[in-house]
Amino acid sequence: MLPKTIVAKKSFNAALYGDKQLYKWEENRFLPVETRESRNGESKMGRGMMSRGGVHLVADVGGTNTRLALSAGTALRKETLKRYENATASCLEDILDRYISEMNVSSFDGICIAVAGPAHQDRAELTNIDWTIQKSALQKIAKTEKAGIINDMQAQGYALSALENADIKHVYGTPHVDKTKRMLVCGVGTGFNIALSIPTPHGVIVPPAEAGHTRLPVRNATEQKVADYLIKKNGFAEVEEVISGRGMALVNHVLYPNSPRTSQDVIQSAPENAEARHVIDVFCGFAGSYFGDLALTTLPEGGIFLIGGLARALEPFVSETNFGAAFCDKGRFSEMNKSFGVNLVVDDFAALKGCANYLTQR
């Protein structure tokens, strides 16, 4: 019997390249494996840079950092994960060139980039950095026709079917997850947005959305006070102004103007401070109410999945009395909302897996 380490490598190579097994992972890079075809001269591969053979390049481009990896199918090769600070480059192409050189790769079967900003018509503009990304540039760098640019929330939607049980933590409602049904991602971080994952016979479809800019729902006098403040200030009470990282500080400002706190202060002091805990309860009420509306709008029978730093920080405070009561406060459809499950995605590389899944469908 082969040693476990050899079995693991053989299993990965088989999964990565099927029967051909053109390359193997050694010395922290992909190296070509001699095959019958190469011995017979049918392959021109040398012992230098690796060419394509089922390998995809995936990247998650944020406002501050860019993370990259090589993938095969929906699986990421963890040893190829790298992070680069955007401030060290003048454009994304610089980072891609550096990564490709470090990975000793010459071309790919496909490339997909997830961006923190709007993506449309084969191009994307990042929200927090002055970069424009063109599909044609990605095709040139990766030496492949298969290239995609998607929004980072869409990437999270494509990732859902590739996540394992260990990547998901149950938060509220039914614990059942069904990846064959519609699933909804709600991103609660610096901003807010959603991604609906729709299964089809030909793969998953994840349409873009801008849900953070819709009208904030109001259920009671306390929530109305927050909405009135936003209307007076901005002329419109927008969801993202409350259900986001800055939202908790705003709720605190409206309810307790003489006790200024950042969102981080609210979370840290909530276990011992009644005012901070009340702010979190109001915040969770807003989130529960809006997520409940989204559940009825999209009918995500497969589950609702929360992502983002704020979602993780708030998870210990979510309860039946704050989030749950608001989520199910839907009149005649209150019972229906109890059938939906809410989960937290704890996989830091979900967006990269979503890019990989996006490519496998094309």
Please tell me the predicted confidence (pLDDT) of residue 74: 86
> What secondary structure does DSSP assign to 78-146, as a single string?
GGG-EEEEGGG-SSHHHHHHHHHHHHTB---SEEEEEESS-EETTEEE-SSS--EEEHHHHHHHHT-S-
CATH code of 4-158+350-360, in short, is 3.30.420.40
pLDDT in tens, 224-236: 999 999 999 999 9
> What secondary structure does DSSP assign to 2-48, as a single string?
--HHHHHHHHHHHHHHTTT--EEEETTEEEE---HHHHTT-----SS
Residue ranges of the chain assigned to CATH 3.30.420.40:
4-158+350-360
Please give the structure tokens belonging to residue 178: 């069904």
User: Per-residue pLDDT averaged across 212-228, rounded?
Assistant: 97
Residue ranges of the chain assigned to CATH 3.40.367.20:
166-345
Q: Which residue has the tokens 């470090």?
A: 102
Give the residue among 209, 206, 210 at the shortest CA–CA distance from 198: 206
User: Per-residue pLDDT averaged across 254-280, rounded?
Assistant: 97
Domain 166-345 CATH assignment equals 3.30.750.24 = no
Please tell me the predicted confidence (pLDDT) of residue 267: 96
Q: Are strands 110-115 and 183-188 parallel, antiparallel or unpaired?
A: unpaired
First to last CA, the chain: 38
| pTM of the predicted structure, to 2 decimals | 0.81
How crowded is residue 189: how many other Cβ atoms within 10 Å of its Cβ? 17
Q: How confident is the model at residue 18 (pLDDT cuts 50, 70, 90)?
A: very low
